[in-house]
A and B are shown apart, each in its own frame.
Chain A
Amino acid sequence: MLRYFLKRLLSLALSLVAASIVIFLALEVVPGDPAAYMLGLNAQEDTLNALREQLGLNGTVLERYLSWAGGLLTGDFGISYTYRTPVSEMIGDRMWVSLPLALYALTLSTLIAFPAGIWAASRRGSYVDAGVMGVTQLGVAIPNFWFAMLMVLIFAINLRWFSAGGFAGWDAGFWAGMKSLTLPAIALALPQASILTRVMRSSLLDTLNEDFIRTARAKGLNKAQAMWRHALRNALIPVLTIMGLQFSFLLAGAIIIENVFFLPGLGRLVFQAISARDLIVVESVVMLLVFAVIVVNFAVDLAYALVDPRLRGRR
């Protein structure tokens, strides 16, 4: 057990090191000088050099990698080239937008997908099933930024229920914060909910065809009882896998939605940092996301074990 755990930990560490090297080298190849970007068209060569020196850009590739990676180990993410503030602080601030947004969207998507998927599966072949399948098809097909703009037009510009974007900040109160995240969360949740509904439905249908369901029915349970007591639990494994993937995606992939709603989240930070060649910020955020994906996957593994006792034994 401990041996297994240590082995997993080692492989986790190795994948992080590998990721850090790949990320660093990939950005090293990208053309563009952060100092030139900051100083603009009238800058003189000696000024550029002075700034490069201040930013620590004049070292060799190996020196810069080691100082960055070494810093990561001690929790020091370095200083942003353009903002000149500690990267860890910037990421921390943005996390307070991106993390709640991802959780909010995931909650919405789960709240929609579970009932809808179960409903469709329990009425297989009916109009309900066809309706749910049709709507989810649409949900997958509609680009979420387009849907976002549509919602802004209706709820912000015409009805004035929400502001068109921006983040009120948690200082303004929990509800104010949640309110500014509501439209973005819905926009993010819609395609995710559609996918999740379809996965839920098909997984449940597969399980309903299993022998143990027939046995359950044979011992006298009606269809609904068999579904709630036996089928649902067994159908959850693929659903959890998808949810894990979706969470990582929501954390990292909200760039477009964050731009549409001008939210100060991680996605927008990376976007700005890439165009300003603030490489140290890009590297650190990407590294953090890699870390988050690995941790989420680990958490999903644990959740499997909770749902399926047989997997607990296998560890």
Chain B
Amino acid sequence: MRLRKFGSGLISVLALAASIGMAHAKSDIIVAMQLEPPHLDPTSAAAGAIDSVLYSNVFEGLTRFGPDGSVNPGLAESWTISEDGKTYTFNLRPGVMFHDGTEMTAEDVKFSLERARADDSANAQKALFAGIENVEVVDPQTVKVTLSAPNGSFLFNMAWGDAVIVAPESIENIKSNPVGTGAFKFSNWVQGDRIELEKNADYWGEPTKLDKATFKFISDPTAAFAAVMAEDVNAFVGFPAPENLPQFEADPRFQVLVGSTEGETILSTNNKLPPLDNLNVRKAIAHAIDRQAIIDGAMFGYGTPIGTHFAPHNPDYVDLTANSKYDPELSKKLLTEAGHPDGFTTTLKLPPPSYARRGGEIIAAQLRAVGIETEITNLEWAQWLEQVFKGKDYGLTIVSHTEPMDIGIYARPDYYFQYDSPEFQKLFTDLTAENDPEKRSELLKKAQEMISNDYVNGYLFQLAFPTVANAKIKGLWENQPTQATDLTGVYWED
């Protein structure tokens, strides 16, 4: 009895504490996401979580991605491209200040690009900078970049989070104290829990409507559901439990945005491992797969079927799903032609995301129906990178390739698909050198068709990006043209 009294007393004290803590003004936001950044330097790690917090909020590049994936002016106000396509002259915005109060000048641009392409660079996307031959400071507001060969995607490359402009004065502590030029400045990081940003009053562009933004990291899907339901967080970007989305859609407190991403989810295939080196065998696998069943079963209906390695929202996308439509009978016939009338056995190695683990079970069942047996192994990411990606010790695996416009990986014979097609490599060289938008579009379409006809991988679906947010929040990005949570245009209604 006494214990019970004590308990209820405690609870009322705590409830009081709660009501004091809950009042909040409408100029701050708590955004949750699943993964925490390992550190805060977007230019020296692949972790998408770094960009998800900092891209365009804290750090900006010469160019930047818009919500639709277009490449817009960033710190460079304008630019001119020389006749031969090799020299880019960027005119920088005047009066741009880093958060530590120093001015952003052409020297900083030179420093950032030189650092990314240096021999000891730890930039995860070093290939973006490979074509740069020379970076020249013309005057504090102008920088001239010379390429060794014309590169039609150079402006696109400079919009990546890995190409943001950093300052030599603050580079030493960038991993724990990032200093950029963006509309928000970094204020605090409680590791394992949250990162806090605050409004940059000296921003060169339109100031943000939010005074404060907090990113919280909740990895467990059940905990994510509870946090949104209890309104502990105002928005959850990349909500990890698609099965709960209908419940949020039915609740007037919330809005659900389901956007597209750059994540082509594919059944990656080891093109050098028999019998997968046989085109007919890969074609048989492609026809054995029922994409919609995988999207429904593994992703609860969220995802767009794809027939090649290209994002469907891109204007240059070609719908090639008919090229590998679900046809088990054809699949069996192809297997017989390839000399495997009774099928064969191969490995299916699955990394941790649920699209892979759940999708893997379904694909295994679909392949079994045409006679292909798979031995499923579940791997951690570190093991997957070691065995599959680096060691190429696998038959099949399921991965979402989230880098934007990454069809170029098919031109790398040492990539883990081990797809070695001189024809494709030549096509890609031509594409890189091409500056004319129309011709580029044509070549991109050709590239998509080529890998689809070669059945390099099983093309499954484009990963969807669900966001659950308070119904009063406006200006959130729906799509993910790059991994980013751009809060610069976000505000609370009324």
> Which A positions have Cβ atoms within 8 angstroms of B?
31-34, 36-44, 46-47, 50-51, 53-54, 82-85, 90, 93-94, 111, 115, 149, 152-153, 156-157, 160-169, 172-173, 175-176, 178-179, 182, 259-265, 268-269, 272, 275-277
Contact = CB atoms under 8 A, between A and B. Distances in A.
Contacts of A262: 193, 216-220, 223, 227
Contacts of B21: 168, 172, 176
Interface string B108-137: 000000000001111111110000000000
Nearest to A34: B382
Given A33-B385, A82-B39, A83-B176, 11 more contacts: A31-B383, A38-B46, A47-B123, A85-B39, A149-B226, A156-B232, A161-B15, A164-B232, A173-B17, A261-B223, A265-B192
A189 B366 CA distance: 46
A57 B232 CA distance: 41
A157 B15 CA distance: 14
A83 B126 contact: no
B125 A164 contact: no
A265 B191 CA distance: 10
A29 B168 CA distance: 39
A260 B222 contact: yes
Contacts of A54: 120, 122
Interface string B368-410: 0000000000001111011101100000000001010010010
B13 interface: yes
B191 A50 contact: no
Interface magnitude class on chain B: 35 or more
Nearest to B14: A179
Given A164-B227, A166-B227, A262-B219, A175 B401 contact: no
Interface string B221-239: 0110011011010000000
B133 to A, nearest CB: 18
Nearest to A36: B385
A200 to B, nearest CB: 16
B250 interface: no
B137 to A, nearest CB: 26
B227 A276 contact: no
A34 B382 CA distance: 7
B222 A163 contact: no
A50 B39 contact: no
Nearest to A111: B3
- The 9 lowest CB-CB distance pairs between A and B, nearest first, are A40-B46, A264-B192, A32-B382, A82-B38, A164-B226, A264-B193, A164-B230, A156-B230, A84-B175
B15 A153 contact: no
B343 to A, nearest CB: 30
Contacts, number: 183
A197 B477 CA distance: 54
Nearest to A174: B17
B226 to A, nearest CB: 4
B340 to A, nearest CB: 31
Interface string B186-202: 00001111100000000
Interface of B: 3, 11, 13-15, 17-18, 21, 36, 38-39, 44-47, 119-127, 175-176, 190-194, 216-220, 222-223, 226-227, 229-230, 232, 352, 380-383, 385-387, 389-390, 401, 403, 406, 409
A82 to B, nearest CB: 4
Contacts of B125: 42
A47 B121 contact: yes
B223 A260 contact: yes
Contacts of B11: 161
B229 A40 contact: no
Residue among B18, B191, B192, B219 having the largest count of chain A Cβ atoms under 10 Å: B192
18 contacts: A31-B387, A32-B380, A38-B47, A39-B45, A42-B403, A53-B120, A54-B120, A85-B39, A93-B190, A115-B3, A152-B226, A156-B232, A160-B230, A165-B218, A172-B21, A176-B21, A264-B191, A275-B380
A32 B223 contact: no
Contacts of A276: 38, 382
Nearest to B2: A115
Contacts of A179: 14, 17-18
Contacts of A53: 120
Nearest to B120: A50
A40 B47 contact: yes
A46 B223 contact: no
A178 B44 CA distance: 38
Nearest to A39: B124
A265 B13 CA distance: 25
A93 B217 contact: no
Contacts of B218: 165-166, 262
B191 A90 contact: yes
B46 A43 contact: yes
Given A157-B229, A175-B13, A262-B227, A32 B122 contact: no
